[in-house]
Amino acid sequence: MTVRKNQASLTADEKRRFVAAVLELKRNGRYDAFVTTHNAFIVGDTDNGERTGHRSPSFLPWHRRFLLEFERALQSVDASVALPYWDWSVDRSPRSSLWAPDFLGGTGRARDGRVSDGPFAAAGGNWPIAVRVDGRTFLRRALGAGVRELPTRAEVDSVLAMPTYDMAPWNSGSDGFRNHLEGWRGVNLHNRVHVWVGGQMATGVSPNDPVFWLHHAYIDKLWAEWQRRHPEAGYLPAAGTPDVVDLHETMKPWNDTAPADLLDHTPHYTFDTA
């Protein structure tokens, strides 16, 4: 059974195996297909039109399935690997071990944002940025430059306290848990972390930075925490909503899974802590 662990508690061997599996997916071309899929949805999901991956109730189940696909791909390389999660409310500094050279590498240099250490630095030759929106082919970051602070635990708790999963108009203007977690409204959790990392993480091709998966694994864990705090509340909307994925409607691009099938993560993985 897959156990998703806090990245801060990984052993040196677990970090090494995770990095090696990610690099192998990059080498064999499977990694970039995930980047392409994400960008297609991010430019296609609109507030007044069809919306599936973002700015909509299915933001959470869509990313849960997307991460499952990626985790299964990693496990096809090394069956011992699970996605770690990054609790950015605790590990909130560029000096966190997450950004050390034995794991994701650090921030980018001032001149051009280029990441210069770690396994994903362009100089290593193992991490070409192929699916991109501009001419730059090297991984970039600017930790803490786009926004000074990562969300605090108190801010996370204020969002977890929201009793309703999502509300009409089911987009970036919504009140409720999903949109506050996504960050279009209120204290801003998920979106702000993308901006804090900077570089490709701030763009539509954000999965170019491997921290994308650790960020979303923690967003996914917060969904699970919210479910435990609000056992009476469920995914909304239930049915009949134009342009929006209802509880029992299947999601693109897989077309075989509905949010209802993804509400319980425990058939697929558990977390190291409750």
Partner 1 sequence: MPELSRRRALTTAAALAATAAATGTAAAHSANATPSGSPGSPDAFDEVYKGRRIQGRPSSGGGHHGGGHHGGDHHGGGFAVYVDGVELHVMRNADGSWISVISHYAPVPTPRAAARAAVDELQGARLLPFPTN
Question: Interacting stretch for partner 1, rule CB under 8 A, among 56-64, 166-174, 229-237, 252-260?
Answer: 166-174
Phi, psi angles (nearest 5°) of residue 24: -70, -40
Helix 30-44 × helix 12-27 angle, to 10°: 80
47 touching partner 1, by CB under 8 A? yes
CB–CB of 103/116 below 8 Å? no
- Token pair in block for residue 55: 């700015």
CB–CB of 7/213 below 8 Å? no
First to last CA, the chain: 16
The helix or strand, by DSSP H or E, that contains position 67, with its residue range, turns out to be helix 59-77
| Type of residue at 77 | V
6 versus 58: smaller Cβ distance to partner 1 = 58
Residue with tokens 């999903």, as numbered in its chain: 178
Query: Could you give the angle at the alpha carbon of 257 between the alpha carbons of 252 and 262, nearest 5°?
Result: 115
Question: Interacting stretch for partner 1, rule CB under 8 A, among 97-105, 196-204, 245-253, 264-272?
Answer: 196-204
Question: Interacting stretch for partner 1, rule CB under 8 A, among 121-129, 156-164, 188-196, 264-272?
Answer: 188-196
Which residues touch 232 (CB under 8 Å, ≥6 apart)? none
Residue with tokens 């970090």, as numbered in its chain: 15
42 touching partner 1, by CB under 8 A? yes
Closest approach of partner 1 to the CB of residue 133, in Å: 4
Closest approach of partner 1 to the CB of residue 198, in Å: 9
Of 211-240, which residues contact partner 1 (CB under 8 A)?
none
Q: Which of 195, 224, 233, 260 binds partner 1 (CB under 8 A)?
A: 195
CB–CB of 223/64 below 8 Å? yes
Q: Which of 106, 118, 204, 210 binds partner 1 (CB under 8 A)?
A: 204
Question: Interacting stretch for partner 1, rule CB under 8 A, among 18-26, 79-87, 130-138, 253-261?
Answer: 130-138
Q: Which of 101, 163, 173, 253 binds partner 1 (CB under 8 A)?
A: 173
Distance CA 127, CA 211 (A): 14
163 versus 173: smaller Cβ distance to partner 1 = 173
18 versus 86: smaller Cβ distance to partner 1 = 86
Q: Which of 16, 109, 132, 230 binds partner 1 (CB under 8 A)?
A: 132
Residue 98: closest CA among 156, 15, 168 = 15
Phi, psi angles (nearest 5°) of residue 253: -90, 0
Question: Interacting stretch for partner 1, rule CB under 8 A, among 47-55, 66-74, 223-231, 240-248?
Answer: 47-55
Closest approach of partner 1 to the CB of residue 82, in Å: 26
By CB under 8 A, name the binding residues for partner 1.
39, 42-44, 46-49, 55, 112-113, 132-136, 146-147, 169, 171-173, 183-184, 190-192, 194-195, 202-206
